[in-house]
Amino acid sequence: MEQGINIKDILWMCLSRWYWYVLSLAVCCGFAFYQILKTPKVYQRNALLLIKDDKIGGSTGGDVGSSFSSMGFLKANTNIKNEVMSITSPTVMYEVVKRLGLNVKYSVPGLFYPNPLYGPNLPVTLSFPDMDDEQSATMKATLFPNGKMELSDFNFGEVDANGAPKTYKPVIVKDFHRLDTIDSPLGKIAYAPNAAYEGTVKQPITIDVARSSVRGTALGVSGGLKAQIPEDWSSVISLTYNDVNIARAEDILNTLIEVYNENWVRDKNRIAVSTSEFIKERLALIEQELGGVDSEISSFKSAHMVPDVQTAAQEYFQRATSATDQVMQLNNRLGMARYIRNYLANSANSFNVLPANSGLENLNIENQIAEYNKMLLERNNLVQNSSTANPLVANMDNQLDGIRQAVLQSIDNYIVTLNASIRAAQTNEALASSRLQANPTQARYLLSVERQQKVKESLYLYLLQKREENELSQAFTAYNTRVITPPTGSNAPVAPNPRSIMMMAVMIGLLIPTAIIYLKEMFNTKVRGRRDLEHLSVPFIGEIPLGYHKRKGLQRLRKARDDEKDRRIVMVRKGSGNTINEAFRVIRTNLELMTDAETAGAHTLMITSANPGSGKTFISMNLATVLAIKDKKVVIVDLDLRKASLSTFVNSPAVGVSAYLSGHATLDQIMVHRPVEPPKRIDPKETPKDHFIDILPVGAIPPNPAELLYSPRLKSLLDKLRAEYDYVLLDCPPIEVVADAKIINRHSDMTVFVIRAGLLEREMLPRIQEFYENQRYHNIAIILNGTDSSHMGPLSSRYGYGYGYGYGYKSKR
């Protein structure tokens, strides 16, 4: 189970390694101080620029731009952000660099960094007319009090056969106080005294001259310039420039504003000229289109004989109505004529009079009908006075018959005439109706053409007016900006900021060791302390803090002396109240409670671990010592037949447990008595008493450790020891590495499992819990060894108890 760490733990671990922080702060602050000294001081200059007219982008002067914007031709409203981009554009910067000659930099060596020369600090200026804008070169110019100048160390990329830069002879200028040119390896060099120079050359001055490309210098100048809008609704642009030279920063801002204004005026005039050309082209085109529209209207009226649409419509309507009335009258006459003819053609009506005023409106036929009716009346009167046989009557009948035929012939002729007249009237009616039906289409066409004519006439007049206004705008052009605040600023440098840099150095100096400590602890997969064992249900006897200081640095190269090794192993002293002694007294107390000291018989404790180096020998020797101090009879048996670490404390005798198990030695022959050291301070009221620890060393390392441990003599040995001693401690090999520990476990009453802090992987803890639950080893209990509380302060209880008790003079057992 993984255990996390909290802020307090990290804090105390950091405090315990205070010397890391001292070293880190010293290095970081020293480096920061060095950077402050070697970094050139940067000064800031600010200027405020007011954009007076917000109708710039598409304006041509006056309100021409707004007029064109209403037509959709041009955009009138200027976006102030576009002006910011325009004033900081590479084109503007390129021109600023060329005007000020910023691509040629001058400097003199300084203590920590080169000191730039510009303006009042620069005695002479150089230019290179034979070099293009993108060529770079370096050289040195040495000025002498007598007015001479030596140009040397020319370097512009040429190399010799060995690949080294070519060397050239110095060039001497007799008098740099006058304007002139001189030949050099870089071509002609023009030199001139700087009128703004405030000093005099009293001793030789060597100036480093570096010429770079204009484009690259413009990019560098752009990096130091910052243009922004203080408020979103404002038309003011704030210009800020940072430079190592105050005069150069002011010149750059002033020249930048000047170039921007010139470009604006040039662009504005260019727009005006383009607008004038546009208006002229449009006027010519519209004039041509107007002529075409007029010609089209005239041709249409001539072709359709329509001088006026409304008048023509009224005329066609009257003609159609008249033709309709005429057709109706003619049809009436035709019907009457046909009636009279049918009447005359009927023999039954031979002696009946014909109707008078029939409406035929034919005088000839009317006269014939009148003459016929008169003669018929006379005949009828004669018949009434005589008979039809009267010769006069017969004669009159012949005459009437002739007249009737004449009338019929006349009516037939009249009918033919009427039909022709009707057809003519109907033709006139159809023509008038067709003309009347075509009149709306003609009217709509003429209306559309006339509307185009009016629009083009209006646009033509409008363009004539704007042409005059555009001419006026070209005659009166003013800058669209006003400098509210000229380039000003404090003489205190804005960079480097020593306070910020040192604060950052302090923060980094504190952060680096903290991060190292935190990462080191986060990636630590070893058992760190008691808290890592809290989830185990295995009985916990106690823990032993680290009783000595680890050798660090070069101390690790020195081999430890034997007395040092001994002091590291046997640290329990009678009467001592240090941390180690108190820790083993706690373990002794817990062990007595677990083994029930009142019970008769000895206790056999098997001391083992999961991996080598856990401190089994250390625990065995000191546990035996603390038990012996309490008047317990203790024997330690070194059963690690492969390594025999414990045997080294009795000088590793040749005869030991291995000889006993093999039947070549007796118990008395292998027993070694080791006295417990007397207390450093003795209470005068107490009588000193010697205590001994008996040790059974391994002796000779056997070739078959496991077979010897299986020997019945091991059980008989332990039975003898149980009968004579209170505690029998068995120093055993690590479990799971070899089978020795499992064999020895058959003869032990209790298994003391030593876990070394910082050595055992935490992933092994579930394995130990499994041993306890499955009772693989008898009565497992845990001792935590080697907890280092020096880095944890008051929180040492997280990784080990703090045994900082302090007892008085009274000796301890």
- The more confident residue out of 295 and 624 is 624
Integer Cα distance of 199 and 106 in angstroms: 16
Percent of the chain at pLDDT > 70 equals 78
Closest CA to 145 of 176, 183, 189: 176
| DSSP helix/strand/coil, 50 | strand
Integer Cα distance of 394 and 401 in angstroms: 11
Give the C-alpha distances (Å, rounded to integers) separating 4 from 1, 15, 82, 763.
Answer: 10, 19, 56, 15
Residue 171 contacts residue 184 (beta carbons within 8 Å): yes
Beta bridge partners of 526: 761
Radius of gyration for the chain, computed over Cα atoms and rounded to the nearest angstrom: 66
Per the listing, tokens 């040039």 go with 266
Continuous segment of H or E residues that includes residue 455: helix 391-475
What pLDDT does residue 207 have?
95
Average pLDDT in the chain: 80
- The more confident residue out of 71 and 129 is 129
**Helices 562-569 & 616-629 angle (0-180, nearest 10):** 70
Closest CA to 516 of 10, 1, 7, 103: 10
Residue 734 contacts residue 777 (beta carbons within 8 Å): no
Integer Cα distance of 510 and 500 in angstroms: 15
Q: What are phi and psi of 738, to 5 degrees?
A: -130, 170
Q: DSSP characters for 596-657?
A: TTTSSS-EEEEEEESSTTS-HHHHHHHHHHHHHHTT--EEEEE--TTT--GGGGGT--SSSH
| DSSP helix/strand/coil, 237 | strand
- Which range is most confident: 159-163, 316-320, 322-326? 159-163
| DSSP helix/strand/coil, 616 | helix
Average pLDDT over residues 790-805: 43
Q: Side-chain half-sphere of 115: how many Cα atoms within 13 Å?
A: 8
DSSP symbol at 739: S
Integer Cα distance of 698 and 655 in angstroms: 7
Using pLDDT thresholds of 50, 70 and 90, give the confidence band for residue 58.
Answer: very low
| Residue 307: pLDDT over 60 | no
> pTM of this prediction?
0.57
DSSP symbol at 279: H
* Number of CB atoms found within 10 A of residue 619's CB: 25
Structure token digits, residue 309: 């649409």
Structure token digits, residue 793: 């302060």
Q: Which amino acid is at 523?
A: F
What pLDDT does residue 30 have?
95
What pLDDT does residue 20 have?
92
Per the listing, tokens 């002796």 go with 699
Average pLDDT over residues 724-749: 88
Average pLDDT over residues 366-379: 77
Instruction: Name 754's Cβ contacts closer than 8 Å, sequence gap at least 6.
Output: 607, 608, 609, 614, 615, 616, 619, 782, 783, 785
Integer Cα distance of 669 and 243 in angstroms: 93
Average pLDDT over residues 300-307: 56
Integer Cα distance of 584 and 545 in angstroms: 10
**Helices 18-38 & 498-522 angle (0-180, nearest 10):** 150
Length, in residues, of the chain = 813
Structure token digits, residue 776: 């693989």
Give the C-alpha distances (Å, rounded to integers) separating 249 from 86, 96, 246.
Answer: 19, 12, 5
3-state SS of 525-553 is: CECCCHHHHCCCCCCEEEEEECCCCCCCH
Integer Cα distance of 209 and 141 in angstroms: 7
Integer Cα distance of 756 and 526 in angstroms: 9
Closest CA to 695 of 626, 634, 744: 634
Instruction: State the alpha helices, DSSP H only, in 662-759.
Output: 667-670, 705-709, 712-724, 740-744
- Which range is most confident: 183-197, 551-565, 601-615? 183-197
What pLDDT does residue 76 have?
35
| Residue 57: pLDDT over 50 | no
What pLDDT does residue 206 have?
94
| pLDDT tens, position by position, 263-290 | 888 887 777 777 777 877 777 787 777 6
| Residue 624: pLDDT over 80 | yes
What pLDDT does residue 396 have?
79
Integer Cα distance of 344 and 334 in angstroms: 15
What pLDDT does residue 241 have?
95
Percent of the chain at pLDDT > 90 equals 32
Residue 661 contacts residue 731 (beta carbons within 8 Å): no
Beta strands per DSSP E along 404-532: 481-488
| pLDDT tens, position by position, 687-732 | 445 678 899 999 999 888 888 888 899 999 999 999 999 999 999 9
Q: In what order do the strands lie in the sheet with 180-184?
A: 124-127, 187-193, 180-184
Residue 446 contacts residue 309 (beta carbons within 8 Å): yes
| pLDDT tens, position by position, 468-519 | 777 776 666 667 788 889 999 998 999 899 999 999 999 999 999 999 988 8
Integer Cα distance of 628 and 692 in angstroms: 7
Per the listing, tokens 């005695």 go with 123
| Residue 140: pLDDT over 90 | yes
| pLDDT tens, position by position, 328-363 | 777 777 777 777 777 777 767 767 777 666 666 677
Using pLDDT thresholds of 50, 70 and 90, give the confidence band for residue 48.
Answer: very high
Instruction: Give the N- to C-terminal CA distance of the chain in Å, as an integer.
Output: 38
Q: What are phi and psi of 751, to 5 degrees?
A: -115, 115
What pLDDT does residue 439 have?
57
Instruction: Name 461's Cβ contacts closer than 8 Å, sequence gap at least 6.
Output: none
Give the C-alpha distances (Å, rounded to integers) separating 685 from 634, 682, 688, 810.
Answer: 27, 8, 10, 10
What pLDDT does residue 755 have?
93
| pLDDT tens, position by position, 197-239 | 988 888 999 999 999 999 999 999 999 999 999 887 888 999 9
What pLDDT does residue 796 have?
44
| Residue 559: pLDDT over 90 | no
Integer Cα distance of 195 and 670 in angstroms: 107
Average pLDDT over residues 522-540: 86
What pLDDT does residue 152 have?
94
| pLDDT tens, position by position, 449-468 | 666 667 777 777 888 887 77
| pLDDT tens, position by position, 565-590 | 444 556 677 766 678 888 898 999 88
| Residue 254: pLDDT over 90 | yes
| Residue 735: pLDDT over 90 | no
Q: DSSP characters for 248-268?
A: HHHHHHHHHHHHHHHHHHHHH
| Residue 44: pLDDT over 90 | yes
Q: What are phi and psi of 159, to 5 degrees?
A: -125, 160
Average pLDDT over residues 293-315: 60
Beta bridge partners of 226: 240
Structure token digits, residue 636: 């330690």
